[in-house]
Amino acid sequence: MLLVRPPGVYRVQEDTSLLRHVLRRRGPLTGRSVLDVGSGTGALGIEAFRAGAASLTSIDLSRRSVMASWLNSRLHGVPATVLRGDLFAPVATRRFDVVLANPPYVPADSPLPPRHRMARCWDAGPDGRLLLDRICAEAPSVLNEDGRLLLVQSVLADEQATLARFKEAGLVSEVLARAHIPFGPVLRARASTLRARGLLGPAQTKEELVIIEARHG
């Protein structure tokens, strides 16, 4: 898929590809409304529209990502509504049939969101859950009764915590897919720190990603 990616916008990587694969596997989205939160280049939303989605709304906090999502949706003939804002805030009064989320989830040293533009794409606090916990808590407010949320994260950010947070929010959740991928530049750079914290094994060179689906019970 040809995508415009300005500097500072998260490029399509294995986590995006895994979520796209699961989205295809779950079948057509004919007539469904889709929300792509943390849209980046907009690749996931474009995939959803190609699967038959009736409408697509994309949200990102980054101005550059908003621009990229808008440009790429037009490049691929997708009439997306692209909004800038913090997670679900721009659509607080709306509900969707399908919500897609590929948030930052890499454990970092600082408890605060990073100032560096690219680091914002992956750093998510000491436990990697800076945005994951918020998504779990707020997801019920944007899901239709028969809607579902598909989220990708690293096991380093504790998949069991995500399942537990969804349960606390009144949603039923399950792991749909797993994949082991070689460390990218970010994990290679901080592998020694993560090993010292017990988050990586001594000889571990691959990261496990999971796709989690959440829905109303």
Q: Nearest to residue 78, comparing CAs of 88, 70, 90?
A: 70
Interacting residues of 198 by C-beta distance below 8 A, sequence separation 6+: none
Cα distances from 216 to residues 10, 18, 171, 178, in angstroms, run 30, 23, 5, 23
Tens digit of each residue's pLDDT (9 = 90 or more) over 90-136: 999 999 999 999 999 999 877 776 666 677 778 888 899 999 999 99
Superfamily designation of domain 14-182+208-216: Vaccinia Virus protein VP39 (3.40.50.150)
SS3 content of the chain, % helix, strand, coil (to 5): 35, 25, 40
Residues 27, 23: Cα–Cα separation, whole Å: 7
Q: Could you tell me if 120 and 178 are in contact, meaning their C-beta atoms sit under 8 angstroms apart?
A: no
Tens digit of each residue's pLDDT (9 = 90 or more) over 41-82: 999 999 999 999 999 999 999 999 999 999 999 999 999 999
3-state secondary structure (DSSP) of residue 8: coil
Residues 98, 142: Cα–Cα separation, whole Å: 9
Residues 19, 182: Cα–Cα separation, whole Å: 17
State the number of CA atoms in the 13 A half-sphere of 61 facing the CB. Answer: 12
- Report pTM: 0.93
What residues does each domain of the chain span? Answer: 14-182+208-216
For residue 126 the two structure tokens come to: 């000491």
Tens digit of each residue's pLDDT (9 = 90 or more) over 157-201: 999 999 999 999 999 999 999 999 999 888 888 888 899 898 889
